[in-house]
Amino acid sequence: MLVLTRRAGERVLLGEEIEVTVVSVRGDQVRLGIEAPAEVSICRSELVERVKQENAAAAVGAAAMRRAGVGEGLKSWRRRADNESRTIERRRTAADRERRQAQQ
């Protein structure tokens, strides 16, 4: 790791396209300004770590749900709901048919 000492207003170049400027220093906080092409992703490392952890936890949770059959429960619930909808539609159709026959 390269360690540099810079004062507020001083800059560091990373390659030819990325420039890091020390904007200010207050106590133990340093504000940095970064100029880089739009295609360069700039993220705080603690946020990247948190997203990785949340993704891993979500993957474990999804796997646990599959093992517990939660997904299957949802599928069977959808099947039942679809079947009930079809049954209701058949009953309406039959009732409409009976009504028309009674009117004739």
Q: What is the pLDDT of residues 41-62, one digit of tens each?
A: 888 888 888 888 888 887 777 6
Residue 94 has pLDDT above 70, yes or no: yes
Q: Which residues pair with 21 in a beta bridge?
A: 11, 33
Whether the model pTM is above 0.85: no
pLDDT, greater one: 23 or 87:
23
State the Cα–Cα distance between residues 32 and 52, nearest whole angstrom: 24
- Predicted pLDDT of residue 21: 96
State the Cα–Cα distance between residues 22 and 10, nearest whole angstrom: 6
